[in-house]
Chains A and B, each alone.
Chain A
Amino acid sequence: MKLKFATALSAAALALLATGCATKNDAKYVDSQGPNTIVSLNSINIQDWNNAADKLVASLLESNVLERAPSLPAVMAVSRIRNNTQQQVDTDALTKKIRVALNKSGKIVTTTTLGADGKVEDAVAADAGAMQSFMAGEKQKTTLPYYTLSGKLLEDRVRSGSTQQTTYTFQLSLTTVKDGLAVWEDETQITKQGQRSSVGW
């Protein structure tokens, strides 16, 4: 009897040891910039936005075009980023990372009171600026951007047998407002392969 109990106890201990303290299917935190985030074929994942923004920011900084602005930090406005993928994505996932990186570099500040199609990001700041000028009896002073950032997201899907390949292309252009010339342009591609609708790490 004692032997049976000891055997059962050992088996239970071994099972516990094998499973560790983890329980399956429990939600857990993972590092958003870590190597354990989920990869899916049919969508642009956070690591894709991160990698695309990183490559494009590095390319822009290496080009040394930002140094050509008459004063630093130069003012930049975010123009239209066209989404030509099959997915509904918020392009701020790309542009905000780029804006933050450029802002930290000390080379660029982004205007939030001027936007594509008249849609301003910070309506309160725009209204408060107008109000302030009105109260002071002055014409409203608007800081015009020296640069604008525009771009496009593309998607390409191909299939061979059960293997599917999806390529996302991130294109960006930096234009000088005074002459409308794109002084920097680049694109980066992210390609994923797998079985249909597969996810991985």
Chain B
Amino acid sequence: MKLLLATSAAALALLGSGCATSVNTVSRSEPQATPSYVADQRVITDSSLGRKVAIVSVNEAKVSGDLLKIQVTLENRSTKPQAFTYKFDWIATDGMELSAPTGGWKQIQLEGRETRAVAAVATSPKAVDFRLKLREN
């Protein structure tokens, strides 16, 4: 009887977890990189997505001399793959949003517990600020 119960519990646990797999990682214990972190503010309107995908950090750099590059590191908090879309907007010194010829929503899928960075380069030197939007599929 006990064996039957244990087997059933194991089967249920297996069923519950489905085919979820998560990503194991290894990296340098004392990172040599010295990123320039950006103090950010977050607006969560989709709490479900907010729980699934965490924003780990935001850092910036200048490329090609005067173009702003932003990198946002995201982490999938669940053990199941999460597919979502993201979009970067760029804002000029005067607060005006800049049009980007190659902008638009982009698809990304994070595997279970995976951490990955999404990055974009502003195509105008006028860009000083950014806004990253995340949207569940």
Contacts and interface: CB of A to CB of B under 8 A. Distances in A.
A1 B100 CA distance: 63
Given A62-B69, A64-B63, A34 B105 contact: yes
Interface in A98-114: 98, 100-102, 104-107
A11 interface: no
B135 A35 contact: yes
Contacts of A53: 101-102
B17 interface: no
Interface residues of B, number: 21
B51 interface: no
A57 interface: yes
B85 A35 contact: yes
Contacts of A34: 104-105
Interface of A is mostly: helix
Contacts of A107: 64
Contact of A104 (B119, B123, B135): B123
Contact of A57 (B65, B123, B125): B123
Given A58-B119, A61-B63, A62-B63, A105 B124 contact: yes
Interface string B98-137: 0011111110000000000001110111000000000100
Nearest to A66: B64
Contact of A101 (B87, B101, B104, B125): B101
Given A35-B85, A67-B64, A97 B101 contact: yes
Contact of A100 (B63, B69, B101, B121): B101
A47 interface: yes
Contacts of B124: 104-106
A106 B125 CA distance: 8
A102 B101 CA distance: 10
Nearest to A107: B64
B74 interface: no
Contact of B105 (A33, A61, A100, A102): A33
Interface residues of A, number: 25
Contacts of B121: 57-58, 61-62
Contacts of A33: 87, 103-105
Nearest to A62: B63
Contacts of B119: 58
A196 to B, nearest CB: 21
A97 B102 contact: yes
B67 interface: yes
15 contacts: A33-B103, A34-B104, A53-B101, A58-B69, A61-B121, A62-B121, A64-B64, A64-B65, A66-B64, A97-B101, A97-B102, A100-B101, A104-B124, A105-B123, A107-B64
Interface of A: 32-35, 47, 50-51, 53-54, 57-58, 61-62, 64, 66-67, 97-98, 100-102, 104-107
6 A-B pairs with least C-beta separation: A33-B104, A54-B102, A100-B101, A35-B105, A101-B123, A58-B121
